[in-house]
Chains A and B, each alone.
Chain A
Amino acid sequence: MKTALPDGLIVVAKADCPTCRLAEPLLAELNAQAGPLTVYVQDSTEYAADLPGTLYDKTLEHSYRLGIEFVPTLIRVENGVEVQRTYGWHKEDWRQISGLAALGEDLPVMRPGCGSKTLEPGIAEELELAFGDIRLQSREIDFSAVDDPFEACFERGWSDGLPVVPPTPVRVLRMLKGTRRKPDEVVGLMPPDLVPCTVEKVAINAVMAGCKPEYMPVLLAALEAALTDEFGLHGLICTTMFGSPLIIVNGPAARAVGMNSGVNALGQGNRANATIGRALQLIIRNVGGGRPGEIDRATLGNPGKYSFCFAEAEDSEWLPLAQERGIEAGRSAVTLFPGEGVQGIIDQKSRDPESLARSFALSLRAVDHAKLAMAGDAVLVVSPEHARVFIDAGWSKQRLREELDRLLLAPGKELVAGAGGITEGIPERFKDMQVPKFRPGGLLIVRAGGTAGLFSAIIAGWAASGPVGSSAVTREVNT
């Protein structure tokens, strides 16, 4: 309910504010000679209690609606509209607003006030939920007072197996402050149930995953990328194979939220990496209904289905992934990839790019199966020490990719079904051709990892890569 502003003067005060106490003896004079005066007291019934217009603003609704930041605040209202305001004790201001030329003759010229109770931590969000314009649409669920809310979230099936943060309205409101997008904006239809996924539902699941509000722009960009037709999330959720969305972040947004691109970049321990990836998985589970054993039919799955998200360790001499994929330099972007697990490449002896590229190519043959080709895409994660071997020799990322494409051509006769005594393999019609391992554009290269270690990594993609299934998708991060 919105209350009309009372004409005359309004003072908003706190009993425990010394400046409010300083001005208290003047309030009777204000009421009698410049009033009527309305006094809203934020913390007590013991302030200006003998004046007829004093009200204990226990719920802080009046203070909230007046937008009070400091006490005391003095406001003049004419015809229901605020015309003047001052805060703290400034003798000249109070005299000018009240029209009383001799007001507070014995008081000092100026005394600063105190902060309004409406802005205290934990209170501001409660007030916004109670009296603000925001209207959250999700239904509220009351757990019994004897339930542990963490256990209750497990019992409702909202968890990936690890504890989730209970998504209270206050936490969700804080999360929504991380984006300028409206809570009721629909990001897209969430597979597999194909239900509209709003920014509010994203925020709820982000709270549960443990995100900070500042991660929201990255998470929303990742979700948008995941919901494109090219990425084909529906099939990826349902497949019996291993894959699941991997998020690779480029640009200033990754550094701003403290993402890890260095030591243990593909591992645990960094909040942004861990919770952005997890939030996307929880949205798939909770909003989309993609739960393992139901529509998620993965035979084995992979540990990245809890969370798989890292940043590229960008280097001035190697073009970052996002820029290779059309994003302007200096902008932030996410690239979604239908990733499996991590396979290490250990090469501690190669010191020239030719040898190291041959090492990489040989190891990359294992993607899907050494006898399969043009099936799954792959991400090659090159560690800084390995990258240095190429960069020192003047090899760009593009040069490395071209060399790998060439090295990964194989005689079809070695790959066809039955060759090598192995029934698995590519169709017989390829037997007289040189066959590339990856489809064009199917090999992504990023630089990441700690500065010590002559190791790189392969993250294989879904064997149904490309138009038949899933392609990597890059989206710019916007606030």
Chain B
Amino acid sequence: MNENRVLDPTAEQAPAQRARLPRPTSIEGKVVGLLDISKPRGDVFLDRIEEQLAAMGIQVKRYAKPTFTRIAPTELKQRMAAEVDLLVEGLAD
């Protein structure tokens, strides 16, 4: 039996594809997190983003994963979710 094909148990009033969270109309007053995944030069990219956000008067919080080879630790994910409204991460070198 294919477990990955199921029948919708709902009244089907929402799209079958789950929608992404809506993009904020403005970042004014929001707290922005910057997540360094610990790839080389990610910090250069995120430092520049921080400069630009700071110039706009936006509060920034910095985070880093211990290593890019593994998913973020649960404690880090929970802390970011609790502390920021938006998160930017640098993905590649």
A contact set with B: CB distance below 8 Å: 122, 136, 138-145, 147, 149, 152-153, 155-156, 158, 166-172, 190, 193, 195, 197, 200-201, 204-205, 208, 282, 286-289
Contacts and interface: CB of A to CB of B under 8 A. Distances in A.
A162 to B, nearest CB: 15
Interface residues of B, number: 15
Contacts of A122: 1
B48 to A, nearest CB: 34
A160 to B, nearest CB: 12
Contacts of B1: 122, 168, 170-171
Nearest to B4: A143
Given A156-B18, A195-B13, A142 B8 contact: no
A170 B4 CA distance: 12
B7 to A, nearest CB: 4
B2 A168 contact: yes
A406 B6 CA distance: 56
B10 interface: yes
Q: Which 9 A-B pairs have the closest CB atoms?
A: A195-B11, A138-B7, A286-B9, A143-B4, A149-B3, A204-B9, A286-B10, A139-B8, A167-B6
Contacts of B5: 140-143, 168-169
30 contacts: A122-B1, A136-B7, A138-B8, A138-B9, A139-B7, A139-B16, A140-B7, A141-B5, A143-B5, A145-B4, A147-B4, A149-B4, A153-B6, A166-B6, A168-B1, A168-B5, A168-B6, A169-B6, A169-B7, A190-B11, A193-B13, A195-B11, A197-B11, A204-B7, A204-B9, A286-B10, A286-B11, A287-B9, A287-B10, A289-B13
Contacts of A171: 1
Interface string B1-30: 111111111111100101000000000000
Contacts of B12: 138-139
**Most A Cβ at <10 Å: residue of B1, B4, B10, B16:** B10
Nearest to A142: B5
Contacts, number: 78
Contacts of A141: 5-8, 16
A149 B7 CA distance: 12
Contacts of A169: 5-7
B3 A201 contact: no
A31 B7 CA distance: 46
B4 A172 contact: no
Nearest to A122: B1
Contacts of B7: 136, 138-141, 167-169, 172, 200, 204
A207 to B, nearest CB: 8
A166 B13 CA distance: 20
Nearest to B2: A168
Nearest to B17: A141
A312 B80 CA distance: 51
Contacts of B8: 138-141, 204
Nearest to A195: B11
Given A138-B9, A170-B1, A287-B11, 16 more contacts: A138-B7, A138-B8, A139-B16, A149-B3, A149-B4, A149-B6, A166-B3, A167-B6, A169-B5, A169-B6, A172-B7, A193-B13, A195-B11, A204-B9, A208-B9, A289-B13
A140 B6 contact: yes
A29 B4 CA distance: 48
Contacts of A156: 18
Contacts of B10: 158, 286-287, 289
Contact of B3 (A168, A200, A286, A287): A168
Contacts of A286: 9-11
A142 B5 CA distance: 5
Contacts of A142: 4-5
Contacts of B11: 190, 193, 195, 197, 201, 286-289
Interface in B18-61: 18
Nearest to B12: A139
